[in-house]
Structure 1
Amino acid sequence: MECAGKRLGTRCTGPPTRRCARCEAVAYCSVSHQILHWRDHKEECERLEEQMEQIDILNEFPFTFSEEATVQVCEKQETRCSFLTKRGVHQTGMWLYECCCGEPVMSFDCSRLDNTWDLGSTLCPCNEPAFTLSKHLISWKEYYDWRSIPLHSPVALLLHWPLTIYYATQLTQVADSGSLTSGINGKLHIHYLGPEKELLQLYVFSELHALFPHMDVHIDLIGPSIPQHRDGERIKLSNYAHCLGTDCVCKSSVESGVHTNDTSAVTLQLWRGLYHERYTDIVKDSYPHIVIAPNAGIAAYSSWLPTIELIKDMNIPAVFSDYCEEACHLGARCISSVTGFPPNIPIQLNPFRQPIVVENNALFIPCYSNCFLYGMSKWSA
């Protein structure tokens, strides 16, 4: 936690122990910094007060570890490192970037793509589901039940990436009273903007085999965090990420190199740069059905402005997520200002947000990766 008035010209006098008496979401090192910040804070104070009232809902997860991963991390009784260590996955494989001691994203190397959960077979989705979904999933509990995973398994910490993609496509269907995945000839093209830590967890996207059965899913991941030497690389995820069990059926599919559901495919392609700069190259082979931008931070980066204008001109569904409701509010306001269209997918809590709180937040409101969603199903009438 840092002083909300930290960048107002004068140096902080100590730790931020003085909280705003009304919203209690921000804190200051001194009375003078609180007074200086009021001209900025007064417009957001009431909103933050309302958001603080929803803390219990934000922290509500069905897992046996929920209190440990939410309240105890917020109160510094636990850390991400201690949480991962207790489950035997600290600094291993796809879990490497889930705490502050993970390696930098820019050093990632797809030639050593990790394709294991580092967990036993009962704790992870390492092969085909027992049955195809008959309805849309709307909670982590429904997903875990469907995949027969016990609620003490931590795999949701990584699976929030593909499940957020899945849920975003459902949101555009509901908002548009139609079906995004119907009438697209068994193929779903997604433009995925601004990937960072998921670049070290690419094999979790193989779960899209189960979430979109009998469909070819092609995801173009575009962003400046992709190393130059990986620009344009294509990665085919033929199998599910596998478990540690030596006799599990997932091992036979890995050895054969063929996915058991031969009517589906998941392909990733990497593009270095900003979306509006690389768009012409990308759409030569992959025009999107939907744009998805996880943890977008639209209001924080001016580079989003030409990208938003481009997406509007394309007139395709776009879904954005962020770590907290306030970031989504600022992002939605930015979209409205640039395009003249307010988002018609309202800001809402993502049921598939990552179930462990982000450490060292700027606010006292708990933040989660992919916490809230909003966007556009259409950009014109």
Structure 2
Amino acid sequence: MECAAKGARTRCLGPPVRRCARCGVVAYCSLSHQIAHWSDHKQECERLEQQMRNADMVNKFPFTFSEEATVRICEKQETRCLFLERWGLHQVGMWSYECSCGPLNISLNLSGLLMYWNLSSTFAPCTEPASPLSKQLSCWKEYYEWRSIPLDSPAAVVLQWPLTIYYALQLNATKGRNDQGNKVINIHYLGPDKELNQLASFGELLALLPQCNVHIELIGPAVPERRDGQRIELDRCAHCDDKDCKCKLTSERHSSKVTLQLHRGYYHDWFGDIVKDSCPHLIIAPNAGIAAYPSWKETIVCLAQLNLYTLFETAVTRNAQTFKIHSYSG
């Protein structure tokens, strides 16, 4: 986290250890910087305070993580590394960044799309669902039952990205537009990080949103230079490890598709071109850290011009507890 007043007037005097006593979200390096920044922060302080007051409620936003899959981690009975080792996933494929042993720089180890779950078909959603969705999913248990996966499967750790998109679209009652029989949904995904190594998991949107062509623009500084501008089309789910599973058959390709377009940089730098080519139905920022990064200020100005629903998700530490705060605003 950076001092909220960094770069505003004078140089920071040290680490941002002084938090706003009212909201507890933003931090400062000194009392002088806190006082100097109050004229800017006071407009947001009340809203942030309300978010923190409702932290227990927003922490229950579904599809952030699965307690069933990671109960031993939640209860501190095992580390995340041991959890992954137990499943044979430690430092493997798209699971490489799910523990502190992963490379420090996400962009250093991204050579292409990793299409394997590294799990058997029993624990991975690798084929089309047995039946279409009959109701809106509201929790991991419902999702796992629909996909016929046991609740202790670790798949939820990676599936949080597409499932959060799915749930946000349901909240927004996104209509999309029609194109040759399929609904087209444009999503702007801001600040992708470790999910850049897990893009195959976005193929689950094919099952969650049938007869939809989902176009996702992923924009952020973590996108490697060599992948800037890369376009990825997903027409099937990620594969399991079973050699004879039908997920390997070409018949498992969907008529609809999920398209991922990668852009390196900040959203406000790409804003004009991306909005012109792909006007969004939803904007999502699952790794936002708005209070920690002043670079969000220019992006928020751009978002205000669109008057669209935007889902921000950011980890904020307060009183030795970590909350997932979801700001869903228009």
Report the TM-score when normalising by structure 2: 0.78
- For 2:59 and 2:297, locate their aligned partners in 1 and report how far apart those are by CA, in whole Å: 34
1:203 aligned counterpart, secondary structure: helix
Q: Is the 8 A contact 2:190 2:285 kept in 1?
A: yes
| Cα distance in 2 between the residues matched to 1:54 and 1:201 | 28
> Equivalent residue of 2:291, what SS?
helix
Quick one: distance in 2 between partners of 1:241 and 1:362? 37
**Corresponding position: 1:95 with 2:95:** yes
2:232 aligned with 1:232? no
Unaligned runs of 5+ in 1: 1-6, 13-24, 26-38, 174-179, 328-360
What is the rounded CA distance, in whole Å, between the counterparts of 1:289 and 1:94 in structure 2? 28
Q: Tell me the CA shift for residue 362 of structure 1.
A: 7.0
Q: Say which of 236, 253, 257 aligns to 1:260.
A: 253
Question: 1:134 and 2:134 equivalent?
Answer: yes
Runs (4+) of structure 1 exceeding 4 A deviation are: 7-10, 46-66, 182-185
Identity of aligned residues (%): 47
Is structure 2 residue 187 aligned with structure 1 residue 190? yes
Q: CA deviation at 1:124?
A: 0.6
* 8 Å CA contact 1:168, 1:319 repeated in 2: yes
Residue 238 of structure 1 deviates from its aligned partner by 2.2
User: Is the 8 Å Cα contact of residues 66 and 157 (structure 2) preserved in structure 1?
Assistant: no
Corresponding residue for residue 75 of structure 2: 71
CA distance in 2, matches of 1:231, 1:127: 30
Aligned-partner Cα distance in 1 for 2:176–2:215: 16
* 2:321 alignment counterpart: 365
Q: Pick from 264, 269, 277: which aligns with 1:285?
A: 277
Q: Which moved more, 1:208-217 or 1:286-295?
A: 286-295
- Kept in 2, the 8 Å contact 1:51–1:365? The answer is no
Among residues 205, 209, 214, which one is paired with 1:208 in the alignment? 205
Separation in structure 2 between the aligned mates of residue 236 and residue 287 of structure 1, nearest angstrom: 19
Gaps of 5+ in 2: 1-11, 18-23, 25-34, 39-44
Counterparts of 1:114 and 1:241 in 2: how far apart (Å)?
Answer: 8
Matches within 5 A, 1:125-204: 125-173=125-173, 180-181=174-175, 183-185=177-179, 186-204=183-201
Q: How far apart in 2 are the matches of 1:56 and 1:211? A: 23
Mapped to 1, the partners of 2:51 and 2:172 lie a distance apart of: 27
Of Structure 1 and Structure 2, which has the larger fraction of its residues in strand?
2
CA distance in 2, matches of 1:58, 1:215: 24
CA distance in structure 1 between the aligned counterparts of 2:52 and 2:283, rounded to whole angstroms: 32
Partners of 1:108 and 1:199 within 8 A in 2:
no
TM-score normalised by structure 1 residue count:
0.68
Q: CA-atom RMSD, angstroms?
A: 3.5
In structure 1, give the amino acid aligned to 2:71.
E
Q: Quick check: 2:65–2:160 contact (8 Å CA) kept in 1? A: no
1:238-284 Cα shifts (integer Å, max 9, x gaps):
2210101011000113xxxx65321x111100001111111223234
Tell me if structure 2 keeps the 8 A contact 1:55–1:366.
no
